[in-house]
Amino acid sequence: MSIKSATRLMVVLKNDQMPFKVKAEIIKKKVERFLFGFNDRKGFLLKFVIYSLLLGIGFVYLYPMLYMFVTSMQSLGDLLDMSINWIPSSFYIDNYRQAYSVLNVRPALLGSMQIAFFPTLLQVAIASIVGYGFARFEFPLKKVWFGLMIFSFVIPPQILMMPKYRLFSDLGLTGSLSAFTIPALLGQGLNSTIFILIFYQFFRQTPKSLYEAAEVDGANQIVSFFKIAVPMAIPAFIVSFLFSFVWYWNETYLTTLYLTSSSTDISTILIQLQQFETSYESLYPATEASPNRINEGIRMAGTVISILPLLITYFFLQRYFVESVDNTGITGE
């Protein structure tokens, strides 16, 4: 209840000349408006339910991250002390120092950036061209090609992994970044169908009058694409880029299959995280007299380091990401 409404209610209560039934009716209406709202304004009960759900969902998502961070800052004594749960006795950063050396962060981070960034650029560019073609042009067997594209996404990827590996091996693509860039360049990147559908839906809803006006002015289809379609599809480009980047970053099975199965110097930070315990034991051999045994704090420190680049990316791009998701819902002619 706002200050103005509360002031008016106090004036009504202090008015001795007003009958009691009228006061009760006014108070009842005020309470109903406060609880259930009126016109387009939400009432207190609906706001309470909405914010409670948002807080609950936010807690579910944030709890694992808070647990990882708190555990990574605990020393071995804090981990063994049952009285310490959420607040460490001191900020113990040696876990991060050891995890940083075990993960071999610099070359692993460079490998992750190579595998995530370059295929993402190619995938988004090709998906925009294919989506534009499906949305703007009519050509023979268009529905058949579109259906085959959807069908290729429905097929479980586990069925195609070994035939793809044999094909890439025969073509000499394994053991290099080409195993990711060439499929992305041919529209067969990681979940490319989703991004083609995003661009298809976006370009299909943009006003046709813009393209018709450009054609009247003498612009061909290439000029219309780069001068009209691409600037208007910036939200779709941002959404596709972020999702593609995260999916390539988190992909470990294909990375292990295409890269580590052959002799290559490329590694990713998530592959290093998979081998974290083995690498730690070889780098910090444990003896009976040394405290170098791996513990939960060191494991959590390695996990925090592995997801930190994505957290930083989301932190700086979240506003553009939310705006892009909202803008992709525009309607046209």
Q: What was the pLDDT predicted at 264? A: 65
User: What mean pLDDT do residues 311-319 have?
Assistant: 77
Tokens at 211, concatenated: 């393209």
Q: What was the pLDDT predicted at 330? A: 42
pLDDT band with cut points at 50, 70 and 90 for residue 311: confident
As a whole number, the mean pLDDT across the chain is 79
pTM as predicted? 0.74
Q: Please give the backbone phi and psi of residue 81, each rounded to the nearest 5 degrees, phi first.
A: -85, 110
The 10s digit of each residue's pLDDT in 92-146 is 888 888 888 888 888 888 888 888 889 999 999 999 999 988 888 888 888 888 8
Which ranges in 18-141 belong to alpha helices (H)?
A: 20-36, 44-72, 76-80, 94-103, 105-136
Are 30 and 13 spatial neighbours (Cβ–Cβ below 8 Å)? no
Closest by CA to 330, choosing from 232, 213, 240, 227, is 232
Q: What was the pLDDT predicted at 38? A: 66
The 10s digit of each residue's pLDDT in 194-248 is 889 888 888 888 777 777 787 787 778 888 888 888 888 888 888 888 888 888 8
Closest by CA to 184, choosing from 269, 248, 246, is 248
How far does Cα 57 stand from its chain's mean position? 16
Q: What was the pLDDT predicted at 331? A: 43
pLDDT at residue 333 above 50? no
